[in-house]
Amino acid sequence: MTRPAAATQGPSRAPGTTYWLEHAWLDNHVEPGVAVDVADGRITDVRTGAESPPPGATALRGLTLPGLANAHSHAFHRALRSTVQVGSGTFWTWREIMYGVAARLTPDSYHALARAVYAEMALAGITSVGEFHYLHHAPGGTPYDNPNAMGEALIAAAAEAGIRITLLDTAYLASGISERPGGAPPDRHQLRFSDGTADAWAERASDLQDSDHARVGAAIHSVRAVPAEQLATVAAWAETRRAPLHVHLSEQTAENDACLAVHGRTPARLLADHGVLGARTTGVHNTHLTDEDIALLGTTRTGTCMCPTTERDLADGIGPATRLRHAGSPLSLGSDSHAVIDLLEEARAMELDERLRSRSRGHWTAAALLQAATADGHAAIGWPEAGRIEQGALADLVTIALDSVRTAGPPPRLGAETAVFAASAADVRHTVVGGRHVVRDGIHALVPDVPAALAASIAALHG
């Protein structure tokens, strides 16, 4: 609900912080001069027609959007940036390099790396992250004294970086699809990922707790990593807790071929037959789908999280995002392997990749892409009260400069188009999470030197 600024002047205004937004994205249009009152981490009032900052208000100059949601992250993949760009190969050769980094992580080193990565996200305007977490145990698969030491390190890292996290604790039990019960055994790299069975995974994951900045969800790594007879256990765990459930789906054609060979059906159909699909479930990538798969996801309201910068980096292909949208699958966006961390680039790529494939323009409006990066992304990771600038919503805001070399020139009324099709993470000027000013004028308030923190934590893994 919004109302003119004059309507709430007087002693009845709730105590707290007031932000003045030079331009704000409200109800799918740009509104100039908006005052937003905040108390206890939520927006208590939104007032339009405020031509100048009210007394004591903090001015956010530029275009302010709801905070961005990064719906799919593997934080430790940030250590692969550039190192995997040497030479050629496939997803499967890239995976071997990834395993090498995973083998060297400890709870302490993962905390340091994730804190820096989540701070980088805050600098990019990301206020919530869905962390698809499968690195659970010590090398060799032995549980730590605290079996959730790695997951709790990620939760602590997000708090220290000032953003929200949904820890999508991931079941990863097998190395591939097999006719043998339990699937193919994990290889030596994957022993750290596996709890042995879905029941053991559920027992460990049940000890993780929500907090003010963290929520716990579930993930099925993929149909190749969770045997078919154990999929329902993970789905039931998420259903009991009304928690989000994510799954890598049809990212590779090899996964589809193996699933058809062993189960006689596609991964999407296998998931449907075991009760995995539904409105709280999100398929990540959804790249190589059949017509029936697309209809299944749409009719069950299963979401789609696209990660275009990773999908093109790994040469995975372009997923049928527009067809999924028309079928009824809500869209969210993620930076996945963090080839870059830039949700504006992910949004832009959705439209531009489709233009390359179809040789036509205008598949997604800027408004639709911002919806995917904000409200729909937050809903996909279990924060439905975030992603909007309205009374009662979480007070998460990101301000994009409209006067940089990339964004200067267009009128503010085209701010959404400027943000999606011209701006980058470098244009994020302010990030506010729960009313707290985490990034101010491009400087992180909690992690003094984010580049140094990234460099040190990554060097420790490659040393």
- The side-by-side arrangement of strands in the sheet containing 126-133 is 68-73, 126-133, 164-171, 214-220, 245-249, 281-285, 303-306, 331-333
With b for 16 or more beta-carbon neighbours within 10 A and e for fewer, the 162-175 pattern comes to: bbbbbbbbbbbbbb
For 120, 419, 441, the CA distances from 426, given in Å and listed in that order, are 11, 11, 11
Residue pair 135/105 in contact (Cβ under 8 Å)? The answer is yes
Rounded CA-CA distance 50/57 in Å is 11
Q: Which two tokens stand for residue 84?
A: 């995997």
Rounded CA-CA distance 269/273 in Å is 6
231 conformational bin, left if phi > 0, alpha if psi -120 to 50, beta if neither: alpha
**Does residue 285 have an active-site annotation?**
yes
Given the residues 336, 342, 376, 396, select the one marked as catalytic: 336
- The residue assigned the tokens 């109800």 is 27
Residue 218 bridge partners (DSSP):
169, 245
6 contacts: CB under 8 Å, gap ≥ 6 = 49
284 three-state secondary structure:
strand
Rounded CA-CA distance 134/105 in Å is 12
Rounded CA-CA distance 191/42 in Å is 42
Residue pair 118/154 in contact (Cβ under 8 Å)? The answer is no
Rounded CA-CA distance 283/249 in Å is 5
Given the residues 72, 221, 246, 285, select the one marked as catalytic: 285
Burial of residue 358, with CB atoms counted within 10 A of its CB: 0-12 exposed, 13-18 middle, 19 or more buried: exposed
Q: Which helix (H) or strand (E) holds 443?
A: strand 443-444
Strands (E), 234-386: 245-249, 281-285, 303-306, 331-333
**Dihedral over alpha carbons 402, 450, 209, 435 (to 10 degrees):** -40
Catalytically active residues are 285, 336
